Amino acid sequence: MSVDKDRVLKVLKRVKGPDLEKNIVDLGLVSEILIKDDRVYFSITVPAERAEELEPLREAAEKIVKDVEGVKGVTAVLTAEANTKSAPTANGAPPPQSGSNVHEHPRVAEARQRMAGNAPPAGPQAGAGGGTRGAGLPGVKHLIAVASGKGGVGKSTTTVNLALGLQSLGLKVGILDADIFGPSQPRLLGLTGRPSVAHGNTLKAMEGYGLKVMSMGFLVDEGTPIIWRGPMVVSALNQMLRDVAWGELDVIVIDMPPGTGDVQLSMAQQVPLSGAIIVSTPQDLALIDARKGLNMFRKVDVPVLGIIENMSTFICPKCGEESHIFGHGGAEEEASKLGLPFLGGIPLHMDIRAKSDSGQPITATSPESAHAQIYRDIAAKTWSELEATHGNRLNPPKLDIADGGAALNVTFDDRAAYTLSAEMLRVMSPSAEVQGHSPDQRVTVGGKKNVKITKLEPVGNYATRITFDDGHDTGLFTWSYFDLLGREKDARWAEYLSELEQKGLKRG
């Protein structure tokens, strides 16, 4: 039996409203019913200050619709936004939503008036010092928002390659595509299909190139427009973040919606962010919008880890001439003015665009390219800034090449000393060639039993680049990655030997 709105409204009439007398349909609280592929999406309008208290009401409504024959899934969200599409009633309150036969409940009208600015706010408001930050995500250590003051600056492409760069540092990484209205991550990662159910209302994250991923693009067709209002979008994003089985992750990178409106501000307030990154192009107009994004995060006390300049320069593939189509260095100059780290500049290049469009991000599929190296360098700087922000940055260790280049002694002042073989460092180099994809996707490097270290090149105060005698020099080893390899040396080496055997490879 097919699912229709009338059947959904009928069962929702069995859910009592906040007054415990009338049901939520007759109170005019139900709106925005959308049915797609037998999945039901709807919102329940409640007073903003009672949203947390009325969460059980949302759960009851979601459960009762889920029990309807033919329904494959339900997403119910709480919203408290004014109805700007309908004419107001005589007392200034908007009329009830479709599906209601009575006047809207006075408390709901009051909430909507408040949201519209027609009544003084009740209770404490978020001031310049921030808002109410949501609880942490179980199993996830950090959440990093990647934001831009405007669209079209390459934020989503930067996000996926940044995530892969972080993964190359030995981190377990996920991506939340928070751009509800224009989700890009499914296409960028070449992922299709629907997420499966882990248990209850919890979905399993999709996976591509070793990244855990969740996006609205997995739940609706690519060409389907999303016409939700602000609070509904924020609630849906929170559900995509919290009702997903992410597993144990070091960091989730959030591809934020472009702009600095209510949705972005609410996300910054409600999601327990460890830090934010601003992506901008070099020209003045983009930098104006980037400043808005910076100020938004500062308003809610989210540390800004730095600024990335995308489309920084263009190098002609035929003649090699460098052209500054959008200007050059504007983001770096702005970062200096604002006292923020400049994380790096990314060139405008056809390879980045072509591989992004085909679902083969360049950091994963062209690991030896200069562009992949740029993204890995930016990821290393980002992680260093995050560690510094949270007081976890390691002091530079003493590095000594030993045994004629066959090993490296790594000595931290406040931690144990490690001796890591050149072979281990080479085959576990933090480059996309050998980084932490799933075993079937990962390139397992064999034949390096006799490789030697020839050069150590410091990079800032957070990493070193190792050159090996086979010519490999694209791995950027951060202090935290050295520490990770040292602590997990035996387990990681055993895993590597197992992969060699499974793939029929030899050490040398």
**What are the tens digits of pLDDT across the range 278-312?**
988 876 554 666 677 777 787 777 889 999 998 88
Kindly state whether residues 409 and 379 are assigned to the same domain.
no
* pLDDT band of 27, cuts 50, 70, 90: confident
Kindly state whether residues 260 and 369 are assigned to the same domain.
yes
Kindly state whether residues 212 and 324 are assigned to the same domain.
yes
Residue 350 lies in a domain: yes
CATH number for the domain that contains residue 430: 3.30.2020.30
Kindly state whether residues 385 and 402 are assigned to the same domain.
no
Strand order in the sheet with 463-468: 453-459, 463-468, 476-478
Name the more confident of 373 and 47: 373
Nearest alpha carbon to residue 410 among 472, 471, 480: 480
Kindly state whether residues 179 and 304 are assigned to the same domain.
yes
Task: Give 232's strand partners.
Answer: none
Kindly state whether residues 263 and 378 are assigned to the same domain.
yes
Nearest alpha carbon to residue 289 among 259, 250, 334, 317: 259
Binding region for ATP: 149-156
Binding region: 149-156
Q: Please determine, for residue 107, whether its predicted confidence score (pLDDT) is greater than 70.
A: no
Q: Please determine, for residue 24, whether its predicted confidence score (pLDDT) is greater than 70.
A: yes
DSSP state of 218: G
- Total domains present in the chain: 3
From CA 506, how far away is CA 483, in angstroms rounded? 27
Kindly state whether residues 156 and 303 are assigned to the same domain.
yes
Tens digit of each residue's pLDDT (9 = 90 or more) over 341-393: 999 999 888 889 889 989 999 999 888 888 999 999 999 999 999 988 887 77
Q: Of 116, 148, 168, at which residue does a domain stop?
A: 116
Report whether 445 contacts 345 (CB < 8 A): no
From CA 97, how far away is CA 416, in angstroms rounded? 64
Residue 131 lies in a domain: no
CATH number for the domain that contains residue 82: 3.30.300.130
Q: Of 325, 356, 389, at which residue does a domain stop?
A: 389
Q: Indicate yes or no: pTM above 0.85.
A: no
In the chain, the amino acid numbered 186 is P
Side-chain half-sphere CA neighbours of 395 within 13 A? 7
The boundaries of the domain holding residue 287 are: 140-389
Q: What residues contact 188, with CB distance under 8 A and at least 6 apart? A: 156, 157, 160, 356, 359, 361
Kindly state whether residues 198 and 327 are assigned to the same domain.
yes
CATH number for the domain that contains residue 203: 3.40.50.300
From CA 197, how far away is CA 174, in angstroms rounded? 18
